[in-house]
Structure 1
Amino acid sequence: MNAKVKITNRAGASFPVRRMNFDFDSVPEYWMDGSAGLTHFMTGLSALFPAGEKFFIDSVRAVRQHPAIKDNEALQKEISAFIGQEAMHTQEHVGFNASAQKFGHDVDRLDQITDRVIQRTRKVFAFIGKPIGITQEMVDLTATTALEHFTATIASQLLTNQHIQELMTDETMKTMWLWHAIEENEHKAVAYDVFEGVFGKGLKAYALRTGSLVGAMVTLFFVQSYFVLRLLQDDKQLNLESLKDIYTYGYSPSKGVITGMWKEMLAYFRPGFHPNDLDTDQILMSWKAKLGF
């Protein structure tokens, strides 16, 4: 593994914080099977994470001292570990994004766009929801809960789809994405438990969380797709070969990482849904053993 790993347990939570330190210096430009299309698809995804992970942390912190959960000792421990893991994800994706930047791919610009989209979108939805009693904190937390379901679901695909794993031909990047995937599934219920603790399980809460998922997925699809196309165009790699690679990897019926997500994504709309209903314990145990965690 091309990383120094320090594992700590934040206040006795059910999952640890792994302090990673990947060395991206030797990562090749087209690290995913030598394909510009596949590499830029994942770089476009990575460009979402620094601002996105910070948004997740801020959203949970904003309600952490809410009277409904501030004395819930177990949940407070989970929140501390959640924040620790998300902070490490930010750090490592910043490192990878910088390694892509050195090849002339303007990921810094995409990171700035991500932050602007997040800030403008959250303010627009808070403005729209204000007349019916929806606060900025509610908008932020429900968006975080929805996006955490997305990240846990795509993470499950990375951990279970052998075709995708085989395409990750650079060991540093493969380990980085699999580490991230493990942790997304370890903490997949934290934001949801905070949401339910603060806003309950009623009809209004259901409408908030499901409506937020729809809005978040539409926004995410267009932003990430724009990022991929821009990276390809700037790299003079916007061609049929790259688009075919992206289609097969992302959207083909049998192998696609996105098409493979639909069952778990739809589960979010089930009344009474909880992230832990989607059991990933065995696959996590297997991958943690493989990666020496």
Structure 2
Amino acid sequence: MNAKVSISERAGASFPVRRMNFNFDAVPEYWMNGNAGLTHFMTALSALFPAGEKFFIDSVRAVRYHPMLKDNADLQKEISAFIGQEAMHTHEHVGFNASAQKFGHDVDTLDCYTDTVIQTTRKFMAKLAKPIGITQKMVDLTATTALEHFTATIASQLLTNSHIQELMTDDTMKTMWLWHAIEENEHKAVAYDVFEGVFGKGLKAYALRTSSLVISMLTLFFVQNYFLWRLLKQDKQLNLENLRMIYRYAYSPSKGIITGMGKEMLFYFKPNFHPNDFDTTTLLNTWKAKLGF
């Protein structure tokens, strides 16, 4: 594994914070099986993470001492570990994005675009929700809860879809994405538990979280695909062959990473949904052993 790892147990949380230090210097330009289209698909996804995960941290941190949460010692430990893991994800994706930038792929601009989209959308949604008593903090938390479900679900695909794993032919990048996937599943319930602690389980909470998922997924779909189109076009790789590869990788019925997420994503609409309904304990233990965690 091309990374130094140290682990902090974060004072009793149910999952640790692993301090990674990946070296991206030897990562090739097209690290996904030598294919530009697949590599740019993952780079377009990675471009969402630095600003996105900072948003997650800020959203949870802003409400962690809410009257309904402040005396919950166990949840406070989980929140601290959640913040630690997300901060490390941001750090490593910044490192990878910089390695893509050195090949002339303008990920820095995409990172700025991500922040602009987040800030514009959150402020617009807060204006819409203000008449029904929803604050900016609550809008941010609800969006974070929805997006955390997305990240946990795509992480499950990375850990279970052998076709995707085989295409990750660079060891550094494969390890980085699998480490990230493990941790997204380890902390997948934290933002949801914070949301439920503040809002409860009533009809208003259900309407908020499900509508937020729809809005978040539509926004994410258009932004990530715009990023992908921009990277392909700038690299002069916008052609039918690359588009066919991307389709098979992301959207084919049998092996696609996005289509494979469908069932788990839809479970979010169950009235009694909880992220831990999908038990990934055995899966995570298997991968932690493989990666030496």
Shift of 1:106: 0.3
CA shift digits 1:181-214 (9 cap, x unpaired)? 0000000000000000011111000000000000
Say yes or no: does 1:218 pair with 2:210: no
2:127 aligned with 1:122, yes or no? Answer: no
Alpha-carbon RMSD across the aligned residues, in angstroms, is 0.3
Residues in 2 aligned to 1:131 and 1:192: alpha-carbon distance in whole angstroms = 24
For residue 56 of structure 2, what is the aligned residue in structure 1?
Answer: 56
AA aligned to 2:244 is: K
Residue equivalent to 1:252: 252
1:268 partner SS:
helix
Instruction: State the 1:135 CA deviation.
Output: 0.8
Residue 44 (structure 1) aligns with: 44
Equivalent position SS for 2:3: coil
Letter of the aligned partner of 1:39 in structure 2?
T
Q: Distance in 2 between matches of 1:12 and 1:180?
A: 21
Partner of 1:208: 208
Structure 1 distance, partners of 2:17, 2:242, is: 36
Provide the C-alpha distance between the structure 1 equivalents of 2:141 and 2:58, rounded to a whole number of angstroms: 9
Deviations 1:133-152, CA, capped at 9 Å, x for gaps: 11101110000000000000
Whole-Å Cα distance in 1 between the matches of residues 49 and 104 of structure 2? 19
Alpha-carbon distance in structure 1 between the residues aligned to 2:225 and 2:141: 25
Residue 77 of structure 2 corresponds to which residue in structure 1? 77
Q: Whole-Å Cα distance in 2 between the matches of residues 161 and 72 of structure 1?
A: 37
Q: Which residue number corresponds to residue 132 of structure 2? A: 132
Aligned residue number for residue 161 of structure 1: 161
Cα offset for 1:155?
Answer: 0.2
Distance 1:236 1:137 in 2: 42
Paired amino acid for 1:126: A
Between the aligned residues of both structures, percent identity stands at 82
Task: Name the SS for the 1:18 alignment partner.
Answer: strand
In the superposition, the TM-score normalised over structure 2's length comes to 1.00
1:116-141 C-alpha deviation (Å, 9 max, x unpaired): 00000000000001011111011100
Distance 1:231 1:48 in 2: 14
Counterparts of 2:279 and 2:241, CA distance in 1: 37
Q: Distance in 1 between matches of 2:240 and 2:163?
A: 21
> How many Å separate the matches in 2 of 1:72 and 1:264?
29
Over 6 Å off, 4+ runs: none
Structure 2 gaps of 5+ residues are none
Residue 45 of structure 1 aligns to a residue in which SS?
Answer: helix
Size of the aligned set, in residue pairs, is: 293
**Following the alignment from structure 1 to structure 2, what is the Cα–Cα distance between the partners of residues 56 and 10?**
19
1:231 aligns with 2:245: no
Decide which moves more: 127-136 or 97-106. Answer: 127-136
Alignment-derived partner of residue 87 in structure 2: 87
User: Residues 270-285 of structure 1: matches in 2 within 5 Å?
Assistant: 270-285=270-285
- Per-residue deviation at 1:11? 1.6
Matching residue of 2:197: 197
Match of 2:292 in 1: 292
1:26 match: secondary structure: coil
| Cα distance in 2, alignment partners of residues 73 and 90 from structure 1 | 26
Distance 2:209 2:59 in 1: 14
Q: Are 2:164 and 1:170 aligned?
A: no
Task: For residues 220-247 of structure 1, give each alpha carbon's deviation from its aligned partner in whole angstroms, at most 9, with x where no partner exists.
Answer: 0000000000000000000011101100
Partner of 1:11: 11
Cα shift readout 1:55-78 (whole Å, capped 9, x = no counterpart): 000000000110100010000000
Confirm whether residue 111 of structure 1 aligns to residue 101 of structure 2. no
Residues 242-270 of structure 1 deviation map (CA, whole Å, 9 limit, x = unaligned):
10110000000000000000000000000
Match of 2:243 in 1: 243
CA-to-partner distance for each residue in 1:34-89, whole Å, 9 max, x for gaps? 00000000000000000000000000000011010001000000000000000000
**2-structure distance, mates of 1:279, 1:263:** 14
CA distance in 2, matches of 1:33, 1:241: 14
Alpha-carbon distance, 1:33 to partner: 0.3
SS across alignment from 2:18: strand
